[in-house]
Structure 1
Amino acid sequence: MRIGLLGGVRATTGDGEPIDIGSPRSQTVLAALALSAGTPLPVARLIDLVWADSPPANAEKALQWHVAQLRKSLGASAIVRVGAAYRLDVPTDVTRFRSLLRAGDAAGALTEWGVPLAGLSAPGLESAVAGLTEEWLSAVEMDFSRRVSADPRAVVGELSSFVAEHPTRESLAALLMTALYRSGRQADALAVYQQVRQHLVSELGVEPGPELRAAEEAVLAHSEVPERVLIGRAADLTAVRSALCEAPVVTLVGPGGIGKTRLASVFDGAFVSLAEITSSADVPRAVADALGIVDRPGVSVAQAVVAARPSLLVLDNCEHVLDGAAAFAAAVCSSVRVLATSRERLSVADEQVVVVEPLDVDAAVELFHIRARAADPTYVRHAAVAELCRRLDGIPLAIELAAARVRSHSAAELLTRLDIGARRTGSARHRTVRAAIQWSYDLLTPAERKLFGRLSVFAAPFDLSAVADDHVLGDLVERSMVAVHDGPFGRRFRLLEPLREFASSRLSDRGEALAAHASWCLRQVSLIGSLLAGPREVEGVGRLAELWPNLRAAVTWAFEAGDLRLVDALLRPVVTELPLRGRREIGDWAEQLLTRAATHHTHDTRRVPPKSTIASGSDSFWLVWVAERNTQSSTPAELPATPDHPLARYARAYASGDGQQLTQCLPEALSSVDDPQLKRFLGLMPAGTLLGIGQFDHVDRTVAELAVQYRQHGPPTLLHWTLQTLGYSAMFQGRDPDPFFNEAADVDLPPGTLSANKTTEARAALRRGDRHKAFELLEAHIDELLETGNVVAASVVAVEFIAITKDTMREEAATVLGYLQHANEFGARAAKTLVSGITSSEPGMDDREALHYMRGVLSAGRARSGTRRPPAGRV
């Protein structure tokens, strides 16, 4: 069976026979479900969608009747009841349309298209229809982009109609300008720009955006392929123009293949390529050949250029003849502006440098699509292109070389072939990205080559402490072999990906390089660990985020080398980031450590190198973090087997959520830990479970002591957690929790910290009478939990959800109460002590399902209450 919405609401059998789906209202119910096929829609949300602002008094019963009629027509299993929600489990043409669009098949997606819900009046679904129409326009733009490249004349008429119908769609206007220009109609292309600009300014009060401005600039510059050649370079064009107005010599610097030559070629002037010469002494001859200068006795080439006074002299590919290029530029720049491209500056007087950066992902993807369509008119966009462009680090030449192979390789296949070759005209170094890098590499000194190779093991930016000789690193930066930028914690260096790939292939001492890299990571995590444990936690979190790709690479290598003790040392300083900010990869590594350690335990330990094992008791330590990972994501996976140890018993009790067992094993587990910071942390982790079994005195005493410690010494996140815990303890005991919650809300937390702040803020908003804000806050918190995978916190959200819905959405509140009673001991305690006046329904949901259900209800409720939101500042 298939459900259709595009071109009208309909249902057909597998053989294409139409199915009667009843009245227009029943069709609206089906359309609402079909627009979210596979996702439960709460009853309240469905009522909003079907009846908009005028639901009948018996809306729920009416909805049930329409669903029953649809089930008779479609089959009982087509629409499933999920708590207080309904879900359609039938494929739809909207799903097919979106799937094709996500895969980059715009032409295929357009074949599915028809006017959404044609012939059906459904005001509640107007926003969904508008969203679908926006997706259709995106597909139209993608398809026109392909057709403009293949045959620009053939699309001018159709594209003109679309631009007239959608005058604010700047992408369509830019495509029309491209088609007109490529059809030899430059004036008409510029007229389109003026018409669209006038509409934007007069109707919306805004100027055209970067894409449309770039299209105009490219047409004015008489570029061979207007804005698409320069896609993503609008800011660079502006920077170069500004620099040429201020300085006699402007040098574009960057690594091979970054697009320096193409950017320079946009500017009108005398263009000289120095790629083919091998000596600085040959620079004048190359200029003479390019400009057609005839030798005359007593007149140098430089003098001839000055006499000819071109508006601009472009010296391209200067890096290998730097001295000659610099001397020639200095000789003519008093009378002629010079634009040079090089891996490094010319170092002449009054020179201004413009660094040419890689393309961003969107621009890189668009460049790939343009070049791919030129190579193969049948090419259609593919989702893998974005990842391919990332792998190629946004370097235009690399992207173009990859795109040239789409006739023989899919985008997915190209992902595995970064060193793609292509037969091209021009100098040898432009035949492949690899050849371009090889050409630059050959100019390095032995010391530079060695460091360049060793830097290939770095998976992300690094600081000066990562290298032994910062002078050599500086030389590589000057030669544009290493990129540098200013980060939040100082200057950072990195190899662009194609350069890193090349450097890796030239690395002869890989083992030593990887060991040095791991040692650097070890020093970094030691510093970061001390920051995370104190008042400078925010800095520690930022530094760890920056280090993470390198840390992952070091851990991977340590595992491959069988050095489990190195893995242990790399992870211990930052292990608490798993529960504090949801870095579950730590839990994955912990489980891998346990598996590897268990494998070694089965062999004769006398034959196992010490580094292949972990220290006594470490297996129990890492079991704790496997348990934390599983608990955080509500994964009931069985914990790995480890020797009996107090920490192992603690981990298993914690993972099971057994409060009584935790109470028994906690003291011995804490006494087995030497690190005082870790001991405090492990004492805090099970506080929620202990609250669930009524251990209020224990929690209040121990957590209050921890709060004192964290107020004095940090870190802020653990102070926040202790205060939140004390607040919920007060709630369970019938005391005022606000002093704790208010103080917790005032703590400045690092980005990404798992916090229940929004739940308490939602309660405060509800007390002020602002249900809309309460719904908004709780919905935002659910989004965070789903995004981070910390779904175990659903029970905390459920407490607040019931509080803000039980008076007006009793059925939905009862559904969530049923979930809460069975979620965990914390939830059961909350359901017993904090909820009254409603009776639970069948639970039937796990943590993740409960979060999705609550989010749907909140979204619908917020939509209904939006027009009744209190004015700002009013309680």
Structure 2
Amino acid sequence: MWIGLLGGVRATTGDGEPVDIGSPRSQTVLAALALSAGVPLPVSRLIDLVWGDSPPASASKALQWHVAQLRKSLGASVITRVGAAYRLDAATDVSRFRSCLRAGDVAGALTEWGGVPLAGLEAPGLAAAVAGLVEEWLSAVEMDFSRRVAADPRAVVGELSSFVADYPTRERLAALLMTALYRTGRQADALAVYQRVRQHLVDELGVEPGAELRAVEQQVLAHAPVPAPVLIGRSGDLAAVAEALQRSPVVTLVGPGGIGKTRLASVLGGAFVSLAEITSSADVPWAVADALGIVERPGLTVAQAVVAARPSLLVLDNCEHVLDGAAAFAAAVCSSVQVLATSRERLAVADEQVVVVEPLDLAASVELFHVRARAADPTYVRDAFVSELCARLDGIPLAIELAAARVRSHRPAELLTRLDIGVRRTGVARHRTLRSAIQWSYGLLSTAERSLFCRLSVFAAPFDLSAVAEDHVLADLVERSMVAVHAGPFGRRFRLLEPLRQFASAELGDRSEAVAAHASWCLRQVAAVGELLTGPREAEGVGRLAELWPNLRVAVARAFERADLGLAAALIRPVVTELPLRGRREIGDWAERLLSGGDRASRLLPPMAAHHTHDVGRVPPKSTIAGGSDSPGGVEASLRAFWLVWVAERNTQGSRPAELPDVPDHPLGRYARAYSSGDGHELARCLPEALDSVDSPDLRAFLELMPAGTLIGVGQFEHVDGKVAELAVRYRAQGPPTLLHWSLQTLGYSAMFQGRDPEPFFDEAADVELPAGTLSATRTTRARAAFRRGDERRAFELLAEHIDELLETGNVVAASVVAVEFIAITKVRLRGEAAVMLGYLKHANDFGALAAERLVSGITTTAPGMSDREALHHMRQVLNAARARSGSRTPPAGQA
């Protein structure tokens, strides 16, 4: 039996014969089951889906009747009763559509799409599911158009125009139409599209266009060079890759540098990860985590997190220099996630399918040259020498584009005369061909251009204009296609394509000056980010740090390699609070390396400005880091104690049992050990002296707030209420939003423990807009609010979502806070489970013990031996089971 939902609800036998599925109500029942084929749907959930908000009193009996009629038509085995639920066991077009998407087969998914889901059927209860399917389809449409615009923009203008008219708020479609028009020379039409879409967004929704659409408009207005249709001559390669992706979980595009592997992979959609920015196989997971926005989780690898996220396609680009790491990562995820890799050699993993990317044929090579030449010089005209020139360049796209970029100063005949290559067309020869082409382009640069080009090779990721003093020289390199430029979220960003970066690196020679300049730029960038993170523009700081992180990681690694611990400390110091605020545990690892890297105080101090060439910017004096030379134990003790705080935070956040490193006695060191052990009484004793040893007001305030929960657990209410209330006033006026949110949450729990109304604090905290990735307990407070208004199902959902978030980020230290809400919400219906978690809470920490004493009554305690992580898992299992029994719905994406 086969069930169709796309284009209307229908059923056919294995022989293709249509089956009568009854009345519209019976069709709605079938559609609800088919949308979750293979999964039991509780009767209460089915009633919600079929009748929406107005089910009749006899809904259960009516549902039973409709199911019986469907079983007569479809066969008794197609719909199975599973306890208080029904399950459909049949193939559906929706399942095939989604299967293609998961496999990265966009073309196959679009072929499966038969039209509007449930067309002609009035089913308000299924509206959200229909909207979700349409969203998936439109995302696939956009990926397909992205590929087609790159390959042949002129051919898609008409079809794209129709889609933009039908979906005027889909900015991605509008951006693609503008790009297609622009690439075909229709600048005015591209700008007209922007104006129409912008007017619609403003009039109908009251919002301005997003960053992507604005970036395309700026490109058109600036008469930026028209990007080449990068897939000229690649339709056969696209078909080969699509076919390989259907046959194998791992597909590797193999070919020499500059052949176009990255461009080919980039138009296929999916989650794109560039490995060009890393130098070690061990860093592959870090690169994936950065690209996909995955936070490190104790007990869960990045590969497992990727599997859980299930991207439709994972692209690992530039694998050849970290082949072992890329292969291991691909092998770890490919059972659940489709992997597309690009490399100069195969990964050699099981079931790998290799697609060799060949040079362009002569006709495509000539066409690519013409397109790039016209972009560089509008007066360019075709001539007969181009064919021979492209033949001499072996059809390598990057070599052809480098040559075409020179047509303003050299006509094709002159290029041919100067380009003395003449090599055989073999794989090794093509490497020489590309190097010769790059060498030739490099030879035409001025001395200043060569110098800057080589120095830029030390940048591991895109950089902004402030990284380069000679901006006019950089502009010349961009014009000559030696440096690529693109619009980032915070302005233009520049980078060297990997073959060019490798060539430049080999030509650089003594790297010390360029590496020092890179470190100086990173110091300036991270200092600016640190300023943003402590004020009202915190969200911008979080975004800029994410963009900077690959370069920052490389700068820190180089500092450690040279044993320049002062530089490493100066690079890390401005963003240390991102460890507790956003879960960047790599900061804790760096802090531990600083502690283990040397015993001399001078090696931990920031380096003198003269240590680096160029202006390194002003490094914070040692007194603003932690204590001065007069503090107990001297400078060495204060600095080592400072870094111990962040090692303690990493360990505490992940509930790691590891012992803290030894450091000389210092108030901050005592603070770190008390915080790590959860000893609230010791924290209360050492906190004043620890804060006195810190001269930075921002850091002192942060260290005051961090242990507030532990202090609540030992009854330090007066201290917490006074100090944290002062901090809340400060953060309302000055930011950052996250610390205002944390302060309000803390005051709410303090009020709750003292028998006062906490809701004003929690409600205000929930209204604070937080940067992406921030660790917060907002869902627990919203769960409590849902429970108060009688929406038990929503309370279960929110609490389960928060537990999932904690397990995802590894922030298990918040388990005791969740347990408080869990007990409050479940103690009536799930008294036994509430008793189990009360037993956990009493032994978890001082906060949990006080909560068990003051907030819970009338429950006999069960005393389980649970870790924080085990407690979270147990609560999640209980909540999921309760949600299933109550027919709980899944909230829409983004609903907190």
Counterparts in 2 of 1:680 and 1:383: CA distance versus 1, 3 Å: farther
Gaps of 5+ in 1: 1-47, 55-114, 146-168, 176-192, 251-349, 871-875
1:730 is displaced (CA, Å) by 0.9
Partner of 2:682: 661
1:246 is displaced (CA, Å) by 3.5
2:840–2:866 CA contact under 8 A, matched in 1: yes
Count of residue pairs brought into register by the alignment: 606
Matched, 1:439 2:456: no
1:565–1:615 CA contact under 8 A, matched in 2: no
Report the secondary structure of 2:485's partner residue: strand
1:709 is displaced (CA, Å) by 2.8
Matched, 1:246 2:186: yes
Partner of 1:566: 567
**What aligned pairs does 1:643-662 form with structure 2 within 5 A after superposition?**
643-662=664-683
Partner of 1:629: 650
Partner of 1:430: 395
1:823–1:847 CA contact under 8 A, matched in 2: yes
Q: What CA deviation, in whole Å up to 9, does each residue of 1:801-837 have, x standing for no partner?
A: 1111111112222222222222211111111111122
Among 734, 743, 761, the residue aligned to 1:713: 734
Report the secondary structure of 1:443's partner residue: helix
Q: What CA deviation, in whole Å up to 9, does each residue of 1:60-84 have, x standing for no partner?
A: xxxxxxxxxxxxxxxxxxxxxxxxx
1:460–1:549 CA contact under 8 A, matched in 2: yes
1:380 is displaced (CA, Å) by 2.6
Report the secondary structure of 2:487's partner residue: strand
1:627–1:639 CA contact under 8 A, matched in 2: yes
Q: Matches of 1:214 and 1:734 in 2, distance apart? A: 55
Among 827, 837, 861, the residue aligned to 2:882: 861
**What aligned pairs does 1:449-598 form with structure 2 within 5 A after superposition?**
449-598=450-599
**What aligned pairs does 1:120-519 form with structure 2 within 5 A after superposition?**
121-122=81-82, 171=108, 174=111, 196=114, 239-240=179-180, 244=184, 246=186, 354-356=226-228, 370-371=239-240, 380-382=248-250, 394-396=262-264, 412=327, 417-418=343-344, 427=391, 428-431=393-396, 435-436=433-434, 439-440=437-438, 442-444=440-442, 445-446=445-446, 447-519=448-520
Partner of 1:793: 814
Q: Matches of 2:227 and 2:150 in 1, distance apart? A: 21
Q: Matches of 1:443 and 1:197 in 2, distance apart? A: 52
2:539–2:770 CA contact under 8 A, matched in 1: yes
1:469 is displaced (CA, Å) by 0.8
Q: Matches of 1:405 and 1:627 in 2, distance apart? A: 35
1:615 is displaced (CA, Å) by 4.9
2:150–2:267 CA contact under 8 A, matched in 1: no
Among 765, 787, 792, the residue aligned to 1:744: 765
Q: What CA deviation, in whole Å up to 9, does each residue of 1:301-344 have, x standing for no partner?
A: xxxxxxxxxxxxxxxxxxxxxxxxxxxxxxxxxxxxxxxxxxxx
Partner of 2:161: none
2:454–2:505 CA contact under 8 A, matched in 1: yes
Report the secondary structure of 1:492's partner residue: strand
Partner of 1:702: 723
Among 748, 754, 757, the residue aligned to 1:727: 748
Q: What CA deviation, in whole Å up to 9, does each residue of 1:323-381 have, x standing for no partner?
A: xxxxxxxxxxxxxxxxxxxxxxxxxxx9995324889xxxx9x998854698x999733
Among 787, 792, 797, the residue aligned to 1:771: 792
1:490 is displaced (CA, Å) by 2.4
Q: What CA deviation, in whole Å up to 9, does each residue of 1:266-292 have, x standing for no partner?
A: xxxxxxxxxxxxxxxxxxxxxxxxxxx
Report the secondary structure of 2:590's partner residue: helix
2:460–2:550 CA contact under 8 A, matched in 1: yes
Report the secondary structure of 1:394's partner residue: helix
Gaps of 5+ in 2: 1-38, 46-74, 122-129, 157-171, 191-221, 269-315, 329-339, 347-355, 363-390, 399-430, 613-621, 623-634, 892-896
Among 852, 859, 865, the residue aligned to 1:831: 852
Q: Matches of 1:662 and 1:484 in 2, distance apart? A: 51
Counterparts in 2 of 1:808 and 1:383: CA distance versus 1, 3 Å: farther
Q: What CA deviation, in whole Å up to 9, does each residue of 1:513-533 have, x standing for no partner?
A: 111111001011111222222
Q: Matches of 2:737 and 2:657 in 1, distance apart? A: 31
Q: Matches of 2:754 and 2:646 in 1, distance apart? A: 31
| Structure 2 counterpart of 1:469, one-letter code | E
Matched, 1:814 2:774: no
1:384 is displaced (CA, Å) by 7.6
Q: Matches of 1:516 and 1:769 in 2, distance apart? A: 61
* Percent of paired sites with the same residue: 54
1:713 is displaced (CA, Å) by 2.8
1:801–1:854 CA contact under 8 A, matched in 2: yes
Report the secondary structure of 1:484's partner residue: strand
Q: What CA deviation, in whole Å up to 9, does each residue of 1:579-632 have, x standing for no partner?
A: 11111111010001111124x6899x9xxxx99999552111100100001101
1:477 is displaced (CA, Å) by 2.3
Among 789, 801, 804, the residue aligned to 1:783: 804
1:239–1:354 CA contact under 8 A, matched in 2: no
2:560–2:568 CA contact under 8 A, matched in 1: yes
Partner of 1:274: none
RMSD: 5.4
1:538 is displaced (CA, Å) by 2.3
1:754 is displaced (CA, Å) by 1.6
Q: Matches of 1:398 and 1:799 in 2, distance apart? A: 47
Q: TM-score, normalised by structure 2?
A: 0.57
Q: Matches of 2:498 and 2:474 in 1, distance apart? A: 17
1:200 is displaced (CA, Å) by 9.7
Q: What CA deviation, in whole Å up to 9, does each residue of 1:473-516 have, x standing for no partner?
A: 11222233333233333222223444434433333232221111
1:587–1:625 CA contact under 8 A, matched in 2: yes
| Structure 1 counterpart of 2:696, one-letter code | D
Counterparts in 2 of 1:549 and 1:768: CA distance versus 1, 3 Å: same
Counterparts in 2 of 1:850 and 1:385: CA distance versus 1, 3 Å: farther
1:529–1:573 CA contact under 8 A, matched in 2: yes
**Larger of the two Rg values belongs to structure:** 1
Q: Matches of 1:49 and 1:124 in 2, distance apart? A: 9
Q: TM-score, normalised by structure 1?
A: 0.58
1:569 is displaced (CA, Å) by 0.6
Report the secondary structure of 1:430's partner residue: coil
Counterparts in 2 of 1:844 and 1:501: CA distance versus 1, 3 Å: farther
Counterparts in 2 of 1:798 and 1:543: CA distance versus 1, 3 Å: same
Q: What CA deviation, in whole Å up to 9, does each residue of 1:106-132 have, x standing for no partner?
A: xxxxxxxxx9x9997537676797899
1:639 is displaced (CA, Å) by 0.8
Q: Matches of 1:727 and 1:794 in 2, distance apart? A: 17
Q: Matches of 2:725 and 2:687 in 1, distance apart? A: 17
Segment drifting more, 551-560 vs 696-705:
696-705
Q: What CA deviation, in whole Å up to 9, does each residue of 1:365-415 have, x standing for no partner?
A: x998854698x99973318889x9999883229999x99999xx9983997
1:859 is displaced (CA, Å) by 2.9
Q: Matches of 2:104 and 2:150 in 1, distance apart? A: 23
Counterparts in 2 of 1:707 and 1:238: CA distance versus 1, 3 Å: closer
Q: Matches of 2:83 and 2:772 in 1, distance apart? A: 40
